[in-house]
Amino acid sequence: QTGLVPFAPALANTAATDSAITYLDGERGILRYRGYSIEDLAERASFVETAYLLINGELPTPEEYDAFSWALSEHSLLHEDMKRFYDGYPMTAHPMAILSAMVNSLSTFYPEAQDALNPEERERTIVRLLSKLRTIAAFAYKKLHGQPFIYPQNHLSYCGNLLHMMFALPTEEYEVDDELVQVLNQLLILHADHEQNCSTHTVRTVGSAQTNLFASISAGINALWGVRHGGANQAVVEMLEQIHADGGDVQKYINLAKDKHSSFRLMGFGHRVYKNYDPRARIIKDAAYRVFDKLGIHDPLLEIALKLEEAALSDSYFTERKLYPNVDFYSGLIYRAMGIPTNFFTVMFALGRLPGWIAHWKEQIEDPSMRITRPRQLYTGPEGRTFRPLAERG
Ligand code: SDX
């Protein structure tokens, strides 16, 4: 036979990578960015501070924060030629497809990003992407809603600028709501990094070939789009809408999720690493109450989500498999309350995860011992076979 390596199955799923960026303890539900707890950062930091921390390893001083914020404002515009790319997308396009294509296209306007080993070019490319992804996302929102693009405003904060570019109209004043900006800061912080998840591992794999940042992040965006990964926040709300339309019978869907003959899974439940309540889900659930209270919204989907969580966490199928709500279970409800359409929820996830992806790409490219990712495999195909010409087959 092929002489299978005895310990191979254990390697099948684990590509051990060391990193100094994020610490995750799935059993105890602990998440720390560069040693700071997610609870502290979500409650007391801004997204820009958190992005700086993830990328540079330290929280910024006031001077560093001002310089970083100024640079983000400086690079918020897209090249005017890039606006025309949007003309070609159909109104039915999924914004994640636009996001990955536009991010990849940045490398055509900034070819110097290819010089990934040059620290100055690297820093400029990082700030360009951190700033422009907001504009790319907001312009995608405007395109898909048939509205004119709204340019970034340098006097606005990172999150305030995003909301303004998405929701302002040339025909009326748009006042950025500070409370919604605060909630959006918190949501982006909670999504900012998560160790070696599928999309981050994708960014590291593509970046290990010394691929430029734009192309590496474009690959990460595509990985995040998957419904088992970042696409879950969209799938959660679609699931809750289906349960609502079906009379709110949560037990019917709990039973469906347990049925091995059904492919249905409870979206927003379960996690490869967390075998406890996802600490991010706990914070987001509290934020959901605040947003609904602030906006005076009574969303029946929140009631259904709470009932679904209660039913699942009192069912041994879920508790035995340690299936708890994850980051995606409540986040979509907040985005929905903020007026963000369902198919943009994963775009918001990508905006949050961007500094984490960048930090991992940078950590790897700065490592002189970096080697291209090249996992081995367990060959399970046929042994050497004799070739027969076409005429002799059949
Ligand atoms: C994210 O990795 C990260 O860090 C990801 C993330 C990040 O920040 O980057 O945290 C973001 O992707 C969160 C996850 C979002 N996805 C979903 O909510 C989709 C629904 N969840 C599942 O598809 C699943 O739980 C995964 C993909 C999240 C995890 O899958 P695993 O670890 O591969 O688990 P598994 O498929 O091996 O399932 C183990 C058991 C199976 O049952 P048995 O074979 O033991 O009988 O649990 C069952 C599964 O059928 N199961 C579920 C379930 N998730 C797992 N059953 C019902 N509903 C579910 N959601």
CB contact at 8 A, 166 and 156: no
- 294 falls in which pLDDT band (50, 70, 90)? confident
Q: Distance between CA atoms of 247 and 230, rounded to whole angstroms?
A: 27
Q: Measured in angstroms, how far is the CA atom of residue 136 from the centroid of ligand 1?
A: 30
Q: Is the dihedral of CA 276, 340, 354, 159 positive or negative?
A: negative
Q: Is 203 in the pocket of ligand 1 (CB under 6 A)?
A: no
The pLDDT value given to residue 15: 52
pLDDT at 4 over 50: no
Q: Is 262 in the pocket of ligand 1 (CB under 6 A)?
A: no
Active site residues: 271, 328
In ligand 1, which atom is closest to the CA atom of 193?
8
The pTM of the full predicted model, rounded to 2 decimals, is 0.92
Q: Measured in angstroms, how far is the CA atom of residue 375 from the centroid of ligand 1?
A: 23
How many C-alpha atoms does 169 have within 13 Å on its Cβ side?
5
User: How high is the mean pLDDT of the chain?
Assistant: 93
Q: Distance between CA atoms of 143 and 136, rounded to whole angstroms?
A: 10
Own/partner pairs for 227-232, CB < 8 Å, 24+ apart? 227/267, 228/198, 229/197, 229/198, 229/199, 230/199, 230/328, 230/346, 230/349, 230/350, 230/353, 231/96, 231/346, 232/267, 232/268, 232/326, 232/328
The DSSP output letter for 112 is G
The pLDDT value given to residue 16: 62
pLDDT at 1 over 50: no
pLDDT digits (tens, 9 = 90+) for 7-40: 444 444 445 679 999 999 999 999 999 999 999 9
Q: Is 257 in the pocket of ligand 1 (CB under 6 A)?
A: yes
As a whole number, mean pLDDT of residues 160-169 equals 98
- Residue 353, exposed/middle/buried by CB under 10 A (0-12, 13-18, 19+)? buried
Q: Distance between CA atoms of 247 and 256, rounded to whole angstroms?
A: 15
Q: At 37, which helix (H) or strand (E)? A: strand 36-37
Is the complex ipTM higher than 0.90? Answer: yes
Q: Is 190 in the pocket of ligand 1 (CB under 6 A)?
A: no
pLDDT digits (tens, 9 = 90+) for 71-94: 999 999 999 999 999 999 999 999
Instruction: Return all residues near 340 (Cβ < 8 A) that are at least 6 apart.
Output: 166, 348
